[in-house]
Structure 1
Amino acid sequence: MNFALLGYGRFGQAFAPLLQQAGHRVRVYDPQANVPEALTASSTAAAVANASWVVLAMPVPSMHEALLELRPLLHPKQTVIDVGSVKLRPCALIGDVLGAQIPHAGTHPLFGPLSLARDERPLRIVLCRSLQHPDAARRTRQLFKSLGCEVIDQDPVAHDRAMAETHALTFFIAKALVDMGIGEDLSMAPPSFLGLANMLAAVRGDAGHLFSAIQRENPYAPEARARLLDSLNAIHQGLLADGDRNSMSIPDLTNP
Protein backbone atom coordinates (compact mmCIF):
# COMPACT_ATOMS: atom_id res chain seq x y z
CA MET A 1 0.00 0.00 0.00
CA ASN A 2 1.02 3.60 -0.52
CA PHE A 3 1.37 5.92 2.48
CA ALA A 4 1.64 9.69 2.62
CA LEU A 5 3.43 10.68 5.81
CA LEU A 6 2.89 14.36 6.59
CA GLY A 7 5.49 15.22 9.18
CA TYR A 8 8.96 13.81 9.71
CA GLY A 9 9.75 14.47 13.34
CA ARG A 10 11.03 11.86 15.78
CA PHE A 11 7.99 9.63 15.39
CA GLY A 12 7.72 10.07 11.64
CA GLN A 13 11.37 9.08 11.26
CA ALA A 14 10.68 5.89 13.24
CA PHE A 15 7.32 5.10 11.64
CA ALA A 16 8.47 5.33 8.02
CA PRO A 17 10.96 2.41 8.33
CA LEU A 18 8.34 0.35 10.19
CA LEU A 19 5.98 0.77 7.24
CA GLN A 20 8.73 0.04 4.72
CA GLN A 21 9.78 -3.12 6.55
CA ALA A 22 6.19 -4.32 6.17
CA GLY A 23 6.44 -3.80 2.40
CA HIS A 24 4.58 -0.50 2.11
CA ARG A 25 5.64 2.47 -0.02
CA VAL A 26 6.10 5.76 1.81
CA ARG A 27 6.20 9.35 0.57
CA VAL A 28 7.01 12.08 3.07
CA TYR A 29 6.32 15.79 3.03
CA ASP A 30 7.79 18.02 5.73
CA PRO A 31 9.37 21.30 4.62
CA GLN A 32 10.95 21.74 8.06
CA ALA A 33 12.77 18.40 8.17
CA ASN A 34 15.68 16.76 6.41
CA VAL A 35 13.81 13.99 4.60
CA PRO A 36 15.81 11.31 2.73
CA GLU A 37 15.65 11.90 -1.01
CA ALA A 38 14.16 8.45 -1.63
CA LEU A 39 11.15 9.34 0.52
CA THR A 40 10.67 13.03 -0.07
CA ALA A 41 7.68 14.52 -1.85
CA SER A 42 7.79 18.04 -3.22
CA SER A 43 4.44 19.06 -1.75
CA THR A 44 1.43 17.85 0.20
CA ALA A 45 -0.34 17.23 -3.11
CA ALA A 46 2.55 15.14 -4.43
CA ALA A 47 2.66 13.09 -1.23
CA VAL A 48 -1.04 12.21 -1.17
CA ALA A 49 -1.64 11.85 -4.91
CA ASN A 50 -1.42 8.03 -5.03
CA ALA A 51 -1.73 7.27 -1.33
CA SER A 52 -4.25 4.86 0.17
CA TRP A 53 -3.34 6.12 3.65
CA VAL A 54 -2.57 9.65 4.80
CA VAL A 55 -0.80 9.88 8.16
CA LEU A 56 -0.85 13.17 10.08
CA ALA A 57 2.40 13.22 12.07
CA MET A 58 2.71 16.94 12.75
CA PRO A 59 2.35 18.81 16.08
CA VAL A 60 -1.24 19.35 17.18
CA PRO A 61 -1.09 23.17 16.81
CA SER A 62 -0.23 22.70 13.11
CA MET A 63 -2.99 20.21 12.42
CA HIS A 64 -5.93 22.49 11.62
CA GLU A 65 -4.07 24.43 8.94
CA ALA A 66 -2.69 21.20 7.50
CA LEU A 67 -6.17 19.66 7.33
CA LEU A 68 -7.60 22.69 5.53
CA GLU A 69 -4.82 22.43 2.94
CA LEU A 70 -5.25 18.69 2.69
CA ARG A 71 -9.04 18.48 2.36
CA PRO A 72 -9.37 19.46 -1.34
CA LEU A 73 -6.71 16.90 -2.24
CA LEU A 74 -8.48 13.91 -0.69
CA HIS A 75 -11.04 11.44 -2.02
CA PRO A 76 -13.26 8.85 -0.26
CA LYS A 77 -11.03 5.89 -1.13
CA GLN A 78 -8.27 7.27 1.11
CA THR A 79 -8.08 6.84 4.89
CA VAL A 80 -6.65 9.57 7.11
CA ILE A 81 -5.20 8.83 10.55
CA ASP A 82 -3.28 10.89 13.06
CA VAL A 83 -0.62 9.58 15.43
CA GLY A 84 -0.79 12.22 18.15
CA SER A 85 -0.33 11.66 21.88
CA VAL A 86 -3.62 13.40 22.71
CA LYS A 87 -6.90 12.57 21.05
CA LEU A 88 -9.74 14.93 22.00
CA ARG A 89 -8.68 17.94 19.96
CA PRO A 90 -7.14 16.05 17.00
CA CYS A 91 -10.19 13.80 16.61
CA ALA A 92 -12.50 16.81 16.79
CA LEU A 93 -10.44 18.71 14.21
CA ILE A 94 -10.30 15.78 11.82
CA GLY A 95 -14.02 15.15 12.18
CA ASP A 96 -14.88 18.80 11.60
CA VAL A 97 -12.75 19.18 8.46
CA LEU A 98 -13.13 15.74 6.86
CA GLY A 99 -16.66 14.98 8.04
CA ALA A 100 -18.60 12.11 6.55
CA GLN A 101 -16.90 12.32 3.15
CA ILE A 102 -13.33 11.26 3.96
CA PRO A 103 -12.72 8.11 6.06
CA HIS A 104 -10.64 8.77 9.16
CA ALA A 105 -9.64 7.47 12.58
CA GLY A 106 -7.56 8.67 15.51
CA THR A 107 -4.61 6.66 16.77
CA HIS A 108 -1.98 6.98 19.48
CA PRO A 109 0.99 4.65 19.05
CA LEU A 110 2.20 3.80 22.57
CA PHE A 111 5.70 3.37 21.19
CA GLY A 112 8.35 5.63 19.75
CA PRO A 113 11.91 5.71 18.48
CA LEU A 114 13.43 4.46 21.74
CA SER A 115 11.07 1.51 22.15
CA LEU A 116 11.50 0.57 18.48
CA ALA A 117 15.29 0.77 18.84
CA ARG A 118 15.05 -1.57 21.85
CA ASP A 119 12.88 -3.92 19.76
CA GLU A 120 10.17 -3.92 22.41
CA ARG A 121 7.25 -6.22 21.65
CA PRO A 122 4.35 -6.25 21.47
CA LEU A 123 3.92 -2.72 20.21
CA ARG A 124 0.66 -1.17 21.43
CA ILE A 125 -1.58 1.41 19.85
CA VAL A 126 -4.79 3.11 20.95
CA LEU A 127 -7.51 3.35 18.31
CA CYS A 128 -10.20 6.04 18.61
CA ARG A 129 -12.76 5.27 15.93
CA SER A 130 -14.99 7.81 14.25
CA LEU A 131 -18.68 6.92 14.61
CA GLN A 132 -19.11 8.10 11.01
CA HIS A 133 -16.48 5.70 9.67
CA PRO A 134 -16.58 2.22 11.26
CA ASP A 135 -14.93 0.73 8.16
CA ALA A 136 -11.98 3.12 8.55
CA ALA A 137 -11.56 1.88 12.13
CA ARG A 138 -11.63 -1.73 10.92
CA ARG A 139 -8.99 -1.03 8.26
CA THR A 140 -6.83 0.86 10.76
CA ARG A 141 -7.02 -2.04 13.19
CA GLN A 142 -5.95 -4.46 10.45
CA LEU A 143 -3.10 -2.17 9.40
CA PHE A 144 -1.56 -1.92 12.84
CA LYS A 145 -2.06 -5.61 13.58
CA SER A 146 -0.13 -6.32 10.38
CA LEU A 147 2.68 -4.14 11.81
CA GLY A 148 2.79 -6.33 14.93
CA CYS A 149 0.74 -4.05 17.17
CA GLU A 150 -1.73 -4.83 19.91
CA VAL A 151 -4.73 -2.54 19.31
CA ILE A 152 -6.60 -0.97 22.24
CA ASP A 153 -10.03 0.53 21.51
CA GLN A 154 -10.79 3.72 23.43
CA ASP A 155 -12.80 6.90 23.06
CA PRO A 156 -10.94 10.26 23.03
CA VAL A 157 -12.18 11.39 26.47
CA ALA A 158 -11.16 8.17 28.23
CA HIS A 159 -7.86 8.18 26.35
CA ASP A 160 -6.91 11.70 27.39
CA ARG A 161 -7.95 11.08 31.02
CA ALA A 162 -5.74 7.99 31.14
CA MET A 163 -2.83 9.75 29.44
CA ALA A 164 -3.07 12.68 31.87
CA GLU A 165 -2.43 10.29 34.77
CA THR A 166 0.29 8.30 33.03
CA HIS A 167 2.01 9.88 30.04
CA ALA A 168 1.69 13.50 31.18
CA LEU A 169 2.72 12.84 34.79
CA THR A 170 5.64 10.66 33.70
CA PHE A 171 7.03 13.40 31.45
CA PHE A 172 6.31 16.04 34.09
CA ILE A 173 8.39 14.19 36.70
CA ALA A 174 11.12 13.35 34.18
CA LYS A 175 11.33 16.96 32.98
CA ALA A 176 11.90 18.13 36.56
CA LEU A 177 14.65 15.54 37.08
CA VAL A 178 16.33 16.42 33.78
CA ASP A 179 16.18 20.16 34.52
CA MET A 180 17.78 19.43 37.92
CA GLY A 181 20.62 17.59 36.19
CA ILE A 182 19.67 14.33 37.89
CA GLY A 183 20.44 11.11 36.08
CA GLU A 184 23.31 12.37 33.97
CA ASP A 185 25.76 10.19 35.92
CA LEU A 186 24.33 6.71 36.56
CA SER A 187 27.57 5.15 37.84
CA MET A 188 26.20 4.83 41.39
CA ALA A 189 22.50 4.69 40.57
CA PRO A 190 20.71 1.77 42.26
CA PRO A 191 18.47 -0.54 40.21
CA SER A 192 15.39 1.29 41.47
CA PHE A 193 16.60 4.48 39.77
CA LEU A 194 17.79 2.75 36.63
CA GLY A 195 14.13 2.04 35.94
CA LEU A 196 13.75 5.78 35.34
CA ALA A 197 16.55 5.94 32.79
CA ASN A 198 14.31 5.32 29.77
CA MET A 199 11.93 8.02 30.94
CA LEU A 200 14.75 10.54 31.31
CA ALA A 201 16.17 9.59 27.91
CA ALA A 202 12.78 10.20 26.29
CA VAL A 203 12.61 13.71 27.74
CA ARG A 204 16.19 14.52 26.76
CA GLY A 205 15.53 13.34 23.22
CA ASP A 206 12.35 15.39 22.85
CA ALA A 207 12.66 18.71 21.04
CA GLY A 208 9.82 20.00 23.19
CA HIS A 209 6.92 19.15 20.86
CA LEU A 210 5.88 15.99 22.68
CA PHE A 211 6.18 17.51 26.15
CA SER A 212 4.17 20.55 25.06
CA ALA A 213 1.48 18.42 23.42
CA ILE A 214 0.87 16.07 26.32
CA GLN A 215 0.86 18.91 28.85
CA ARG A 216 -0.90 21.73 26.98
CA GLU A 217 -3.17 19.90 24.55
CA ASN A 218 -4.57 17.40 27.07
CA PRO A 219 -7.37 19.17 28.98
CA TYR A 220 -7.00 16.79 31.93
CA ALA A 221 -3.24 17.24 32.41
CA PRO A 222 -3.38 20.44 34.58
CA GLU A 223 -5.60 18.74 37.17
CA ALA A 224 -3.37 15.65 37.22
CA ARG A 225 -0.26 17.79 37.74
CA ALA A 226 -1.95 19.74 40.54
CA ARG A 227 -2.97 16.52 42.32
CA LEU A 228 0.59 15.20 42.00
CA LEU A 229 2.07 18.40 43.44
CA ASP A 230 -0.43 18.37 46.32
CA SER A 231 0.44 14.75 47.06
CA LEU A 232 4.19 15.39 46.91
CA ASN A 233 3.85 18.39 49.19
CA ALA A 234 1.79 16.36 51.69
CA ILE A 235 4.46 13.64 51.72
CA HIS A 236 7.18 16.27 52.09
CA GLN A 237 5.42 17.99 55.00
CA GLY A 238 4.77 14.64 56.66
CA LEU A 239 8.44 13.72 56.46
CA LEU A 240 9.43 17.09 57.93
CA ALA A 241 7.00 16.61 60.80
CA ASP A 242 8.29 13.09 61.46
CA GLY A 243 11.84 14.44 61.37
CA ASP A 244 11.05 17.09 63.98
CA ARG A 245 9.52 14.46 66.29
CA ASN A 246 12.50 12.13 65.92
CA SER A 247 15.27 14.71 65.95
CA MET A 248 16.05 14.16 69.66
CA SER A 249 16.89 10.50 69.04
CA ILE A 250 19.37 11.09 66.22
CA PRO A 251 22.95 10.70 67.48
CA ASP A 252 25.47 13.47 66.74
CA LEU A 253 28.12 11.70 64.67
CA THR A 254 30.22 14.86 64.28
CA ASN A 255 31.47 14.70 67.91
CA PRO A 256 32.71 11.20 68.71
Structure 2
Amino acid sequence: MHSSRKTVSSIGIMGFGAFGRLMARHLQPHFPLLVCDSEQPPAVDGSGKGLAPSDVKAVGACDVVILAVPVDRIPTAIVALRPHLRAGTLVLDVGSVKIGPARAMQVELPEDVDILGTHPLFGPQSARHGIRGLKIALCPVRGRSSPRVAAFLRKVLGLKVVMTTPDAHDRETAMVQGLTHLIAKILVRMEPLPHRMTTASFDLLMQATEMVRHDAPNVFMAIERANPHARAVRDRFFAIAEEMRQLLEDDHLAQPTLPPSRKSPAEASA
Protein backbone atom coordinates (compact mmCIF):
# COMPACT_ATOMS: atom_id res chain seq x y z
CA MET A 1 0.00 0.00 0.00
CA HIS A 2 1.46 3.37 -0.99
CA SER A 3 0.71 7.05 -0.48
CA SER A 4 2.05 9.77 -2.77
CA ARG A 5 5.26 9.44 -0.77
CA LYS A 6 7.87 7.05 -2.11
CA THR A 7 7.74 4.71 0.87
CA VAL A 8 5.28 3.90 3.63
CA SER A 9 6.89 3.57 7.04
CA SER A 10 3.66 3.24 9.04
CA ILE A 11 -0.11 2.94 8.75
CA GLY A 12 -2.52 4.45 11.25
CA ILE A 13 -5.97 2.97 11.83
CA MET A 14 -8.83 4.91 13.37
CA GLY A 15 -11.18 2.36 14.89
CA PHE A 16 -10.58 -1.22 15.97
CA GLY A 17 -13.91 -2.95 15.62
CA ALA A 18 -14.43 -6.25 13.83
CA PHE A 19 -13.29 -4.89 10.49
CA GLY A 20 -10.39 -2.90 11.92
CA ARG A 21 -9.08 -6.12 13.46
CA LEU A 22 -9.54 -7.99 10.19
CA MET A 23 -7.52 -5.35 8.31
CA ALA A 24 -4.80 -5.31 10.92
CA ARG A 25 -4.35 -9.07 10.62
CA HIS A 26 -3.61 -8.81 6.90
CA LEU A 27 -1.63 -5.54 6.95
CA GLN A 28 0.55 -6.26 9.97
CA PRO A 29 2.91 -8.63 8.11
CA HIS A 30 3.78 -5.73 5.77
CA PHE A 31 3.62 -2.49 7.77
CA PRO A 32 3.95 -1.22 11.34
CA LEU A 33 0.47 -0.32 12.56
CA LEU A 34 -0.70 2.31 15.04
CA VAL A 35 -4.32 2.01 16.20
CA CYS A 36 -6.49 4.64 17.87
CA ASP A 37 -9.69 3.40 19.50
CA SER A 38 -10.72 4.62 22.96
CA GLU A 39 -13.57 2.09 23.18
CA GLN A 40 -11.69 -1.02 21.99
CA PRO A 41 -7.97 -0.30 22.40
CA PRO A 42 -5.80 -3.11 21.06
CA ALA A 43 -3.08 -4.82 23.02
CA VAL A 44 0.52 -4.43 21.90
CA ASP A 45 1.29 -7.11 19.31
CA GLY A 46 4.89 -7.61 18.22
CA SER A 47 4.20 -10.13 15.47
CA GLY A 48 4.85 -9.16 11.88
CA LYS A 49 5.85 -5.50 11.68
CA GLY A 50 4.11 -4.82 14.99
CA LEU A 51 0.87 -3.24 16.17
CA ALA A 52 0.55 -0.74 18.99
CA PRO A 53 -2.26 1.28 20.56
CA SER A 54 -1.80 4.99 20.00
CA ASP A 55 -3.54 8.36 19.97
CA VAL A 56 -5.04 10.43 17.21
CA LYS A 57 -1.97 12.66 16.92
CA ALA A 58 0.38 9.75 16.21
CA VAL A 59 -2.10 8.07 13.87
CA GLY A 60 -2.52 11.32 11.92
CA ALA A 61 1.26 11.52 11.47
CA CYS A 62 1.41 8.14 9.69
CA ASP A 63 1.99 7.92 5.93
CA VAL A 64 -1.38 6.20 5.42
CA VAL A 65 -4.44 6.70 7.62
CA ILE A 66 -7.37 4.30 7.43
CA LEU A 67 -10.77 5.39 8.74
CA ALA A 68 -12.21 2.13 10.07
CA VAL A 69 -14.99 3.80 12.06
CA PRO A 70 -18.73 3.49 11.35
CA VAL A 71 -19.92 5.67 8.46
CA ASP A 72 -21.78 8.07 10.75
CA ARG A 73 -18.58 8.69 12.76
CA ILE A 74 -16.39 9.58 9.79
CA PRO A 75 -16.98 13.37 10.09
CA THR A 76 -15.96 13.30 13.75
CA ALA A 77 -12.84 11.28 12.96
CA ILE A 78 -11.88 13.75 10.21
CA VAL A 79 -12.16 16.70 12.59
CA ALA A 80 -9.92 14.94 15.11
CA LEU A 81 -7.32 13.96 12.50
CA ARG A 82 -7.17 17.12 10.41
CA PRO A 83 -4.64 19.11 12.55
CA HIS A 84 -2.18 16.19 12.59
CA LEU A 85 -2.10 15.18 8.91
CA ARG A 86 0.98 15.91 6.82
CA ALA A 87 1.23 16.84 3.15
CA GLY A 88 1.19 13.74 0.96
CA THR A 89 -0.58 11.55 3.50
CA LEU A 90 -3.10 9.11 2.05
CA VAL A 91 -6.43 8.98 3.88
CA LEU A 92 -8.89 6.25 2.99
CA ASP A 93 -12.11 4.88 4.41
CA VAL A 94 -13.50 1.36 4.30
CA GLY A 95 -17.22 2.05 4.64
CA SER A 96 -20.10 0.27 2.94
CA VAL A 97 -21.26 3.47 1.25
CA LYS A 98 -19.10 5.88 -0.66
CA ILE A 99 -20.91 9.06 -1.73
CA GLY A 100 -21.24 10.61 1.73
CA PRO A 101 -17.78 9.67 3.06
CA ALA A 102 -16.06 10.74 -0.16
CA ARG A 103 -17.78 14.12 -0.02
CA ALA A 104 -16.93 14.60 3.65
CA MET A 105 -13.27 13.73 3.10
CA GLN A 106 -12.98 15.96 0.04
CA VAL A 107 -14.51 18.96 1.78
CA GLU A 108 -12.99 18.63 5.23
CA LEU A 109 -9.49 17.20 4.70
CA PRO A 110 -6.52 19.45 3.77
CA GLU A 111 -6.01 19.93 0.04
CA ASP A 112 -2.48 18.47 0.16
CA VAL A 113 -3.80 15.10 1.41
CA ASP A 114 -4.58 12.22 -0.97
CA ILE A 115 -8.04 10.68 -0.62
CA LEU A 116 -9.21 7.22 -1.66
CA GLY A 117 -12.58 5.64 -0.96
CA THR A 118 -12.43 1.87 -0.53
CA HIS A 119 -14.97 -0.82 0.21
CA PRO A 120 -13.74 -4.35 0.88
CA LEU A 121 -16.61 -6.44 -0.47
CA PHE A 122 -16.26 -8.94 2.35
CA GLY A 123 -16.37 -9.05 6.13
CA PRO A 124 -15.09 -11.15 9.02
CA GLN A 125 -17.45 -14.03 8.20
CA SER A 126 -16.79 -14.25 4.47
CA ALA A 127 -13.04 -13.72 5.06
CA ARG A 128 -12.64 -16.31 7.81
CA HIS A 129 -10.72 -18.60 5.43
CA GLY A 130 -8.57 -15.80 4.03
CA ILE A 131 -9.05 -12.84 1.71
CA ARG A 132 -7.18 -13.98 -1.40
CA GLY A 133 -9.54 -13.92 -4.37
CA LEU A 134 -12.11 -11.68 -2.69
CA LYS A 135 -13.12 -8.28 -4.11
CA ILE A 136 -12.45 -4.71 -3.06
CA ALA A 137 -13.83 -1.54 -4.65
CA LEU A 138 -11.60 1.52 -5.04
CA CYS A 139 -13.02 5.01 -5.61
CA PRO A 140 -10.25 7.56 -6.33
CA VAL A 141 -11.19 10.97 -4.93
CA ARG A 142 -8.00 13.03 -4.86
CA GLY A 143 -4.32 12.47 -5.61
CA ARG A 144 -2.35 9.84 -7.48
CA SER A 145 -2.18 7.04 -4.94
CA SER A 146 -4.85 4.71 -6.32
CA PRO A 147 -2.75 2.85 -8.96
CA ARG A 148 -0.11 1.89 -6.38
CA VAL A 149 -2.70 0.94 -3.79
CA ALA A 150 -4.46 -1.22 -6.39
CA ALA A 151 -1.16 -2.90 -7.30
CA PHE A 152 -0.44 -3.75 -3.64
CA LEU A 153 -3.94 -5.13 -3.12
CA ARG A 154 -3.71 -7.29 -6.25
CA LYS A 155 -0.12 -8.52 -6.09
CA VAL A 156 0.48 -8.78 -2.34
CA LEU A 157 -2.92 -9.46 -0.80
CA GLY A 158 -4.36 -11.28 -3.83
CA LEU A 159 -7.57 -9.25 -3.94
CA LYS A 160 -9.65 -8.58 -7.04
CA VAL A 161 -9.78 -4.80 -7.45
CA VAL A 162 -12.83 -3.06 -8.92
CA MET A 163 -12.17 0.57 -9.90
CA THR A 164 -15.32 2.68 -9.76
CA THR A 165 -16.79 6.01 -8.65
CA PRO A 166 -18.64 6.73 -5.40
CA ASP A 167 -21.96 7.13 -7.24
CA ALA A 168 -21.56 4.00 -9.36
CA HIS A 169 -20.52 2.08 -6.26
CA ASP A 170 -23.57 3.14 -4.27
CA ARG A 171 -25.93 2.39 -7.16
CA GLU A 172 -24.73 -1.21 -7.39
CA THR A 173 -24.38 -1.91 -3.68
CA ALA A 174 -27.87 -0.55 -3.05
CA MET A 175 -29.03 -3.81 -4.59
CA VAL A 176 -26.07 -6.12 -3.90
CA GLN A 177 -25.82 -5.31 -0.18
CA GLY A 178 -29.17 -3.66 0.41
CA LEU A 179 -31.24 -6.65 -0.67
CA THR A 180 -28.90 -9.21 0.91
CA HIS A 181 -29.03 -7.60 4.34
CA LEU A 182 -32.74 -6.83 4.08
CA ILE A 183 -33.70 -10.41 3.20
CA ALA A 184 -31.36 -11.76 5.89
CA LYS A 185 -32.95 -9.53 8.54
CA ILE A 186 -36.41 -10.78 7.56
CA LEU A 187 -35.36 -14.44 7.59
CA VAL A 188 -33.79 -14.07 11.04
CA ARG A 189 -37.06 -12.58 12.30
CA MET A 190 -38.90 -15.65 10.92
CA GLU A 191 -36.85 -18.13 12.94
CA PRO A 192 -36.90 -20.97 13.80
CA LEU A 193 -36.38 -22.08 10.21
CA PRO A 194 -36.21 -25.67 8.89
CA HIS A 195 -32.82 -27.35 9.08
CA ARG A 196 -33.55 -31.03 8.32
CA MET A 197 -35.51 -31.25 5.09
CA THR A 198 -33.84 -28.48 3.12
CA THR A 199 -32.94 -27.99 -0.51
CA ALA A 200 -29.59 -26.89 -1.89
CA SER A 201 -31.04 -23.49 -2.77
CA PHE A 202 -32.40 -23.01 0.76
CA ASP A 203 -29.02 -24.00 2.23
CA LEU A 204 -27.34 -21.34 0.09
CA LEU A 205 -29.86 -18.79 1.29
CA MET A 206 -29.04 -19.72 4.87
CA GLN A 207 -25.31 -19.42 4.17
CA ALA A 208 -25.84 -15.90 2.86
CA THR A 209 -27.86 -15.06 5.96
CA GLU A 210 -25.15 -16.36 8.27
CA MET A 211 -22.53 -14.18 6.57
CA VAL A 212 -24.31 -10.99 7.66
CA ARG A 213 -26.23 -12.17 10.74
CA HIS A 214 -23.64 -10.90 13.22
CA ASP A 215 -22.83 -7.58 11.53
CA ALA A 216 -23.11 -4.62 13.87
CA PRO A 217 -26.51 -2.86 13.66
CA ASN A 218 -24.84 0.32 12.37
CA VAL A 219 -23.66 -1.60 9.29
CA PHE A 220 -27.23 -2.43 8.30
CA MET A 221 -28.38 1.14 8.95
CA ALA A 222 -25.53 2.58 6.89
CA ILE A 223 -26.30 0.25 3.99
CA GLU A 224 -30.01 1.09 4.03
CA ARG A 225 -30.00 4.75 5.10
CA ALA A 226 -26.64 6.30 4.24
CA ASN A 227 -26.76 5.04 0.65
CA PRO A 228 -28.91 7.53 -1.29
CA HIS A 229 -29.84 4.86 -3.86
CA ALA A 230 -30.99 2.23 -1.35
CA ARG A 231 -34.53 3.50 -0.84
CA ALA A 232 -35.47 3.21 -4.51
CA VAL A 233 -34.24 -0.39 -4.60
CA ARG A 234 -36.02 -1.18 -1.34
CA ASP A 235 -39.28 0.39 -2.52
CA ARG A 236 -39.14 -1.56 -5.78
CA PHE A 237 -38.51 -4.80 -3.90
CA PHE A 238 -41.47 -4.28 -1.56
CA ALA A 239 -43.71 -3.17 -4.46
CA ILE A 240 -42.95 -6.37 -6.38
CA ALA A 241 -43.43 -8.43 -3.20
CA GLU A 242 -46.84 -6.80 -2.73
CA GLU A 243 -47.75 -7.60 -6.35
CA MET A 244 -46.84 -11.24 -5.71
CA ARG A 245 -48.93 -11.28 -2.53
CA GLN A 246 -51.94 -9.89 -4.38
CA LEU A 247 -51.41 -12.40 -7.17
CA LEU A 248 -51.35 -15.31 -4.73
CA GLU A 249 -54.38 -14.08 -2.83
CA ASP A 250 -56.52 -13.43 -5.89
CA ASP A 251 -59.64 -15.56 -5.47
CA HIS A 252 -59.72 -16.61 -9.10
CA LEU A 253 -56.13 -17.91 -8.96
CA ALA A 254 -56.24 -19.21 -5.40
CA GLN A 255 -59.23 -21.44 -6.18
CA PRO A 256 -59.02 -22.28 -9.86
CA THR A 257 -62.09 -23.93 -11.36
CA LEU A 258 -61.60 -27.24 -13.11
CA PRO A 259 -62.70 -27.50 -16.75
CA PRO A 260 -65.99 -29.36 -17.30
CA SER A 261 -65.43 -33.08 -17.74
CA ARG A 262 -66.03 -34.53 -21.16
CA LYS A 263 -68.35 -37.54 -21.23
CA SER A 264 -67.57 -40.53 -23.38
CA PRO A 265 -70.05 -41.41 -26.16
CA ALA A 266 -71.25 -44.36 -24.09
CA GLU A 267 -71.91 -42.11 -21.08
CA ALA A 268 -73.65 -39.56 -23.25
CA SER A 269 -76.06 -42.14 -24.67
CA ALA A 270 -76.80 -43.67 -21.28
Report which of the two has the higher share of helix.
1
Q: For 1:66, which of 77, 87, 95 is the aligned residue?
A: 77
State the AA in 1 paired with 2:205: L
Give the structure 2 partner of residue 153 of structure 1: 163
Unaligned runs of 5+ in 2: 1-7, 46-50, 260-270
Equivalent residue runs for 1:96-175 within 5 Å: 96-119=107-130, 121-130=132-141, 132-133=142-143, 135-145=144-154, 146-175=156-185
Cα deviation, 1:196-226, whole Å, max 9, x if unaligned, reads 2232223321120210110110011111111
Give the structure 2 partner of residue 198 of structure 1: 207
Shift of 1:10: 1.4
SS in 1 for 2:160: strand
CA distance in 1, matches of 2:27, 2:190: 38
Shift of 1:140: 2.1
Shift of 1:243: 4.2
SS in 1 for 2:197: coil
Give the structure 2 partner of residue 18 of structure 1: 26
SS in 1 for 2:127: helix
Instruction: Say what the alpha-carbon RMSD is for the aligned residues.
Output: 1.9
CA distance in 2, matches of 1:191, 1:24: 42
Corresponding position: 1:29 with 2:39: no
Give the structure 2 partner of residue 95 of structure 1: 106
Note closer, same or farther for the CA distance 1:247–1:62 as it changes in structure 2 (3 Å cut): farther
**Structure of larger gyration radius:** 2
Give the structure 2 partner of residue 5 of structure 1: 13
TM-score (norm 2): 0.84
Shift of 1:248: 6.6
2:138 touches 2:163 (CA, 8 Å); kept in 1? yes
Shift of 1:28: 1.2
2:15 touches 2:35 (CA, 8 Å); kept in 1? yes
State the AA in 2 paired with 1:181: E
State the AA in 1 paired with 2:169: H
1:178 touches 1:203 (CA, 8 Å); kept in 2? no
Give the structure 2 partner of residue 79 of structure 1: 90
Shift of 1:190: 1.7
Give the structure 1 partner of residue 247 of structure 2: 238
Paired residues, number: 244
Unaligned runs of 5+ in 1: 250-256
Cα deviation, 1:66-85, whole Å, max 9, x if unaligned, reads 10110111112321110001
Cα deviation, 1:3-43, whole Å, max 9, x if unaligned, reads 1111111111111101124x222221111115223334231
CA distance in 2, matches of 1:40, 1:188: 49
